[in-house]
A and B are shown apart, each in its own frame.
Chain A
Amino acid sequence: MLRIAKLPIVIFAVFIITFPWIASQIPAINHYTDIMVFAGIYCLITIGLSLFMGYAGQISLGHAAFYGIGAYVSAILTVKYGLNPWVCMCIGMAVTAAVALLVGAPSLKLKGHYLAMATLAFGIIVFIIFNEETEWTGGPDGMAGIPGLSLLGFDFSSVGRYYYLVWGIVLAAFVFTVNVIQSGTGRALRAIHASEPAASAMGVDVSRFKILVFVYSAVLASLAGSLYAHYLNFVNPSTFDLFFSIKLLIMIALGGMHNIWGAVIGAGLITFLSYEWLYYFEEFEVIVYGAILLLVTIFLPKGLAGVPGIVKGWFRK
């Protein structure tokens, strides 16, 4: 049975809960809580993407689009129509689910490179829409004045509170996804990854499962997009470009695609690299990402999440 150990999840939860306090004690990393909010938002996307790519063995180069749709639905409905942000978030997820269903149904019949190309094209189309539909999206200038979040009088405007909101959602999504992986559904997904003919001969409705996971990962990305919009109070198209889709790929490749923990580790590391540690590289940042992707695929095909296994192997010898 594929069992995902519970102890690391508990340790991880404790780390997440105590992190803002730890960060506040050390002046040099005071602002890390803010970066962790973004790490959490990206983590939400990579968790779904890990299930779709690592477990079900599919590929998507268009998840930035789902992230963007969530963000823009939230932005447009709150700024232009004054709707409740939570309602907008749900509408965003519903819209994204519908779009993912429409895009996924035909394109998930494709495999490998062709699926990559189809999702890539979808991502580019959506990016163009964000840029060109100026009346709705504000075009390249973006949209400002997106309200923050509050619930029953409790205001999530401070960094610390938003941190707990985001990571609370991430933890819930993580546990949900872990449960799926350990269930018959997860088994069916891994079977699809290994052999589609055998999976369907065993009664697995391959296309239905693929679409299901695609929609699930898209909905998580949409939720992440809404959280992003309400945190920054501003969105513009460049956040949701092709490079972001690729960055998501680098995150799960670095963390380890075949392990749900890889999604968390990769999202965390890449977020800190791009927001903090690679600051001095400026435009050359891209080269560093390229190098990371290259080195990881050559030397750590299972990503950082595979390192414990490698170390264990050394001790066995």
Chain B
Amino acid sequence: MNFVEEENILEINRVVMTFGGLMALSNLNFQVKKGSIKAIIGPNGSGKTTLFNIITGSFPPTKGTVRFKGRSIEHLKAHKIADRGISRTFQTVELFGNMTVMENVMLGCHTQVRTSFMASGFVLPQSRRKEKRIRENALKILKFIGLADKFKDSADSLPLGEQKLLEIGRALASEPELICLDEPAAGLNETETHMASSLIKAINAKGITVLLVEHDMKVVMNISDEILVLNYGQKIAEGLPEDVRNSLSVIEAYLGVEA
């Protein structure tokens, strides 16, 4: 474990989310320690992605608060939350398929460097300098995720494994303090899964807090500092990987109760 300090970067307090009559999350409380890797697991439909969407501002919770670095963010729109330092990937890859690998990462730098419409239209020197900085930054990230030699390819043309890596790279480009990864290993083969795990560890080693939704238990058990288990929108277990592994309620939720 490499906690920078015993401080919570993210606090979820009494969050409730209902869609019509369906309760997707009911009264959820948990914290993420700064500098840690926290995994959220649970059967399909247990509310994991809903939780991610609330944290990253796709929609506000019905009730409850989300505090990031001590300030509540649950009312903010997605782009404002990105500005605050939370970045994410998507369960089904949401790359910009009409752009190159490089451009995808460059777009990730959007929060860091912003040019006005007029400045870009008149190609003011400042906007040119910014572009140069973004390009250098993007290339560094591509080297980090191992896709530097494919920078010119269209994002659509990459195999799924590399698309997933690229999504992580794009999320990193915004220099987040918290990165939310929605099933980074889904659909990957064993080698790719291994690469994704070590990448997540490397990201965490840079001091970035990782919040992870994942079904691949090997990945989860290997890299997480803490695990939260959801079932039907409720927390059924939370703690260290070895504790969660042996928790009876978790086994029940996944495998059912013996008759």
Interface set of A (CB-CB < 8 Å, partner B): 1-2, 176-177, 179-180, 183-188, 190-191, 193-195, 197-206, 212, 216, 258
What total count of A-B pairs have CB within 8 Å? 111
Query: In the complex where A1-B100, A184-B110, A197-B58 touch, is A202 in contact with B170 (Cβ < 8 A)?
Result: yes
Does B88 lie at the interface of the complex (its beta carbon under 8 Å from any beta carbon of A)? Answer: yes
Which one of B57, B110, B130, B134 contacts A202 once the chains associate, using CB atoms below 8 Å? Answer: B110
Does B117 lie at the interface of the complex (its beta carbon under 8 Å from any beta carbon of A)? Answer: yes
Chain B nearest Cβ from A210, distance in angstroms: 12
Does B127 lie at the interface of the complex (its beta carbon under 8 Å from any beta carbon of A)? Answer: yes
The interface residues of chain A lying within 8 Å CB-to-CB of B123 are: 179, 183
The interface residues of chain B lying within 8 Å CB-to-CB of A216 are: 117
Interface residues of B toward A: which range? 35 or more
Bound complex: CA of A1 vs CA of B87, how far in Å?
A: 23
Query: In the complex where A204-B110, A206-B79 touch, is A197 in contact with B90 (Cβ < 8 A)?
Result: yes
Q: Would you call B98 and A184 a contact (CB within 8 A)?
A: no
Q: Would you call A2 and B103 a contact (CB within 8 A)?
A: yes
Bound complex: CA of A12 vs CA of B107, how far in Å?
A: 31
Most buried by B among A185, A190, A203, A204: A203
The interface residues of chain B lying within 8 Å CB-to-CB of A198 are: 90, 94-96
The interface residues of chain A lying within 8 Å CB-to-CB of B95 are: 194-195, 198
Other A-B pairs, 17, CB within 8 Å; known A187-B110, A204-B110: A2-B103, A183-B127, A187-B99, A187-B103, A190-B103, A191-B107, A194-B96, A195-B96, A197-B94, A198-B96, A200-B79, A201-B87, A201-B171, A202-B108, A202-B173, A202-B174, A216-B117
Which one of B115, B173, B174 contacts A183 once the chains associate, using CB atoms below 8 Å? Answer: B115
Main secondary structure of the interface of A (DSSP, over half): helix
The interface residues of chain B lying within 8 Å CB-to-CB of A183 are: 115, 120-121, 123, 127, 131
Q: Would you call B88 and A185 a contact (CB within 8 A)?
A: no
Q: Would you call A194 and B117 a contact (CB within 8 A)?
A: no
Which one of A180, A188, A212 contacts B107 once the chains associate, using CB atoms below 8 Å? Answer: A188
Q: Would you call A201 and B103 a contact (CB within 8 A)?
A: no
The interface residues of chain B lying within 8 Å CB-to-CB of A179 are: 120-123
Query: In the complex where A187-B106, A194-B96 touch, is A203 in contact with B117 (Cβ < 8 A)?
Result: no
Bound complex: CA of A199 vs CA of B34, how far in Å?
A: 26
Most buried by A among B78, B90, B114, B115: B78
The interface residues of chain A lying within 8 Å CB-to-CB of B170 are: 202
Does B82 lie at the interface of the complex (its beta carbon under 8 Å from any beta carbon of A)? Answer: yes
Bound complex: CA of A197 vs CA of B91, how far in Å?
A: 12
Does B83 lie at the interface of the complex (its beta carbon under 8 Å from any beta carbon of A)? Answer: yes
Q: Would you call B115 and A184 a contact (CB within 8 A)?
A: yes
Does B229 lie at the interface of the complex (its beta carbon under 8 Å from any beta carbon of A)? Answer: no
Which one of B90, B100, B111, B117 contacts A212 once the chains associate, using CB atoms below 8 Å? Answer: B117
Most buried by A among B97, B99, B110, B173: B110
Does B102 lie at the interface of the complex (its beta carbon under 8 Å from any beta carbon of A)? Answer: yes
Does B224 lie at the interface of the complex (its beta carbon under 8 Å from any beta carbon of A)? Answer: no
- Closest chain B residue to A178 by CB distance? B121
Bound complex: CA of A201 vs CA of B131, how far in Å?
A: 20
Q: Would you call B99 and A191 a contact (CB within 8 A)?
A: yes
- Closest chain B residue to A258 by CB distance? B98
Query: In the complex where A184-B110, A216-B117 touch, is A201 in contact with B96 (Cβ < 8 A)?
Result: no
Give 1 or 0 for each of B75-88: 1 = CB within 8 Å of chain A CB.
Answer: 00111001100011
List residues of B (55-90) whose CB comes within 8 Å of A's CBs.
56-58, 77-79, 82-83, 87-88, 90
Bound complex: CA of A203 vs CA of B171, how far in Å?
A: 10
The interface residues of chain B lying within 8 Å CB-to-CB of A1 are: 100, 102-103, 135
Bound complex: CA of A199 vs CA of B96, how far in Å?
A: 9
Does B113 lie at the interface of the complex (its beta carbon under 8 Å from any beta carbon of A)? Answer: yes
Bound complex: CA of A203 vs CA of B90, how far in Å?
A: 15
Bound complex: CA of A183 vs CA of B135, how far in Å?
A: 12
Query: In the complex where A179-B123, A202-B107, A212-B117 touch, is A184 in contact with B131 (Cβ < 8 A)?
Result: yes
Which one of A191, A197, A203 contacts B174 once the chains associate, using CB atoms below 8 Å? Answer: A203
Q: Would you call B120 and A184 a contact (CB within 8 A)?
A: yes
Bound complex: CA of A184 vs CA of B111, how far in Å?
A: 11
Which one of B82, B100, B114, B121 contacts A177 once the chains associate, using CB atoms below 8 Å? Answer: B121
- Closest chain A residue to B173 by CB distance? A202
The interface residues of chain B lying within 8 Å CB-to-CB of A206 are: 79
